[in-house]
């Protein structure tokens, strides 16, 4: 078989060339492969220099100027390609931004159109509202007239009920005072002047400044009548007094009164001095129990002050609280009272002026006595703690009691105690009975004044060591011999 390259005959083993030609072909292929590798290396280096050219071209390993030119041109082409790519990216971004800008412009225009339409709608609504307001204003009197008529009818009915309530309270208090026997009596003094005494059920109402000279039975009956009348009238008036009064009831024989701080605490207290235990002490309430002031005397007040000063102070405080309640009630029901001692002490005058004069509604002339209560023009029974008061009555009641809230009971109590103490310490007259003159001492000689002792119970007794002057005061009676004598003595010892 002939070789396809050198045409030399050689034994055929299934190959087209001979061995020498095949070897030459292999060598040639290897040389070509090596040339390709060298060429690739050169190209790689050129590409490397083109992509990242060296900092100093003169110090580089480039062999010739054409390589430098190629590197320069390739670098320019590479930079141009980079610029083109960046330009294309910028164009894409500008296109996107333009699209977004167009969308925003469309939205702005759409919003502008919506605002225009909304303004037109709002303007139309304002116009409609103005027209409806004008129409409603013209219809308001017609629409509210039935309501105003109903309000006027209700107000008239309320005024009638209020007037009937005040009238009922007035009549109840008037009838209570009349049934209790609250009266005013005139008494002429020896000097010709006229004084007024006030009684309840025929029993005189004692002035607080005259407690030392009054009999204890008279004081007890007078205080009991005052408490009963006061509690009943306050119940009809629906008024709560500053100091709580407890009237006699089962296992509670005499009236008592609480202090201003311990009133209306809800305790069920036993009668002062009794051995019974209050029901409130058996509960879980461990508060200190208040101590009511007993409005009852078992001995003359002067003797009580000497024998039991603590009980005396409690009694004087209780009587002062009762007078304070009366003065407060008079002020709340339209009488012009102050918290002065000379105004609060005459309890009978205050009660009579309130329940007999002020409830009558007739215009009474101004009194000559400046301490006598005068009317402020407020209707009786207007001030009350029950029900829902009218606005005008509430304001009037607040104005009436504004000055009374600033009053001090402690100052008034101190003044009463001071008056009673001066009355006791400065008293030189002693009340004795007529039997004390049935005896005669050897060193005394009776001197009859104006007649016999049987016909006239007044005498002047003198002695060598001392001198007694006896003055008599007649008390209502038939025989003319009943009465009491006042003795002014200078340390005279009685047998």
Q: State which H helix or E strand residue 456 sits in.
A: none
Span 124-135, mean pLDDT?
92
> Is 337 found in the same domain as 249?
yes
- Give the pLDDT score at 242: 92
Q: Does residue 372 sit within a domain? A: yes
Angle at 16 between CA 15 and CA 22, to 5 degrees: 80
* Alpha-carbon separation of residue 329 from 139, 230, 359, 426, 439 (angstroms): 51, 9, 13, 34, 53
CB atoms inside a 10 Å sphere around CB 210: 15
Among 27-41, 346-360, 379-393, the minimum mean pLDDT is found in: 379-393
Q: How confident is the model at residue 27 (pLDDT cuts 50, 70, 90)?
A: confident
Looking at residue 1, its pLDDT comes to 64
What does the alpha-carbon distance between residue 290 and residue 262 come to, in Å, rounded to a whole number?
A: 6
Question: Is the same domain home to 214 and 328?
Answer: yes
pLDDT at 96 over 90: yes
Residue 69 resides in a domain: no
CB 432 within 8 A of CB 484: yes
Looking at the structure, tell me whether residues 440 and 367 fall in a common domain: no
Same-domain pairing of 396 and 326: yes
Q: Domain containing 221: what range?
A: 181-273+288-425
Identify whether residues 463 and 331 lie together within a single domain: no
In whole angstroms, what is the distance from residue 304 CA to residue 446 CA?
A: 34
Tell me whether residue 176 is in a domain.
Answer: no
Residues 319 and 225 in one domain: yes
pLDDT at 308: 93
What pLDDT is stored for residue 189 in this prediction?
A: 87
Indicate if the pLDDT at residue 367 is higher than 80. Answer: no
Task: Say if CB 470 and CB 485 are below 8 A apart.
Answer: yes
% of the chain residues with pLDDT over 90: 42
Mark whether 211 and 256 lie in a shared domain: yes
Tens digit of each residue's pLDDT (9 = 90 or more) over 236-259: 999 999 999 999 988 899 999 999
Q: What is the pLDDT of residue 70?
A: 64
Q: What is the pTM of this model?
A: 0.60
What integer best gives the mean pLDDT of the chain? 77
> 312 and 460: one domain?
no
Lowest mean pLDDT across 82-91, 275-284, 421-430, 482-491: 482-491
For residue 189, being part of any structural domain is answered with yes
Is 70 exceeded by the pLDDT of residue 384? yes
Let me know: does 484 contact 490? Beta carbons within 8 Å: no
- Is it the case that residue 198 has pLDDT exceeding 90? yes
Structurally, the chain folds into a number of domains equal to 2
Better-predicted residue by pLDDT, 102 or 279: 102
pLDDT > 70: percent of the chain = 69
Nearest to 314 by CA among 305, 326, 306, 302: 305
- Res 132 pLDDT > 60: yes
| pLDDT greater at residue 143 or residue 439 | 143
Query: Where does a domain end: 425, 455, 477?
Result: 425
Whether residues 206 and 322 share a domain: the answer is yes
Least confident of 202-206, 340-344, 390-394: 390-394
């Amino acid at each position: 078989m002939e070789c396809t390259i050198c045409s030399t005959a050689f034994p055929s083993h299934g190959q087209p060339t001979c061995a020498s030609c095949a070897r030459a072909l292999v060598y040639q292929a290897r040389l070509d492969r090596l040339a390709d590798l060298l060429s690739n290396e050169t190209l790689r280096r050129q590409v490397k220099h083109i992509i990242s050219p060296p900092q100093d071209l003169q110090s580089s390993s480039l062999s010739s100027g054409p390589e430098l030119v190629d590197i320069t041109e390739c670098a320019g082409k590479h930079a141009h390609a980079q610029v083109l790519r960046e330009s294309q990216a910028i164009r894409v971004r500008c296109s996107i931004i333009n699209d977004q800008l167009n969308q925003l412009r469309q939205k702005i225009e759409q919003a502008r159109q919506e605002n225009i339409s909304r303004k037109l709608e709002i303007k139309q609504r304002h116009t409609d509202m103005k027209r409806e307001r004008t129409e409603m204003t013209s219809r308001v009197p017609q629409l509210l007239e039935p309501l105003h008529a109903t309000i006027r009818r209700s107000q008239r009915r309320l005024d009638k009920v209020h007037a009937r309530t005040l009238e009922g309270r007035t009549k109840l208090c008037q009838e209570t005072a009349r049934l209790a026997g609250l009266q005013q009596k005139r008494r002429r003094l020896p000097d010709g002047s006229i004084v007024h005494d006030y009684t309840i059920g025929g029993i005189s109402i004692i002035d607080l400044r005259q407690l030392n000279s009054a009999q204890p039975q008279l004081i007890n009956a007078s205080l009991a009548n005052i408490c009963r009348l006061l509690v009943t009238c306050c119940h009809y008036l629906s008024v709560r007094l500053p100091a709580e009064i407890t009237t006699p009831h089962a296992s509670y024989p005499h009236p008592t009164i609480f202090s201003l701080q311990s009133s209306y605490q809800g305790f069920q207290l036993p009668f002062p001095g009794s051995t019974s235990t209050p029901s409130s002490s058996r509960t879980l309430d461990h508060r200190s129990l208040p101590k009511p002031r007993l409005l009852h005397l078992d001995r003359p007040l002067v003797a009580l002050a000497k024998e039991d000063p603590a009980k005396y102070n409690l009694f004087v405080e209780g009587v002062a609280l009762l007078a304070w309640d009366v003065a407060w009630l008079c002020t709340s029901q339209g009488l012009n009272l102050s918290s002065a001692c000379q105004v609060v002490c005459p309890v009978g005058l205050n009660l009579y002026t309130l329940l007999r004069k002020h409830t009558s509604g007739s215009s009474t002339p101004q009194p000559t006595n400046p301490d006598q209560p005068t009317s402020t023009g407020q209707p009786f029974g207007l001030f009350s703690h029950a029900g829902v008061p009218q606005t005008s009555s509430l304001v009037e009641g607040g104005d009436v009691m504004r000055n009374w809230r600033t009053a001090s009971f402690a100052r008034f109590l101190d003044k009463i105690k001071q008056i009673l103490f001066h009355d006791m310490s400065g008293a030189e007259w002693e009340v004795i009975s007529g039997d004390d003159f049935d005896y005669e001492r050897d060193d005394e000689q009776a001197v009859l004044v104006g007649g016999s002792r049987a016909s006239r119970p007044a005498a002047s007794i003198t002695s060598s060591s001392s001198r007694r002057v006896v003055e008599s005061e007649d008390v209502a009676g038939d025989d003319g011999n009943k009465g009491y004598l006042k003795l002014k003595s200078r340390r005279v010892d009685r047998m």
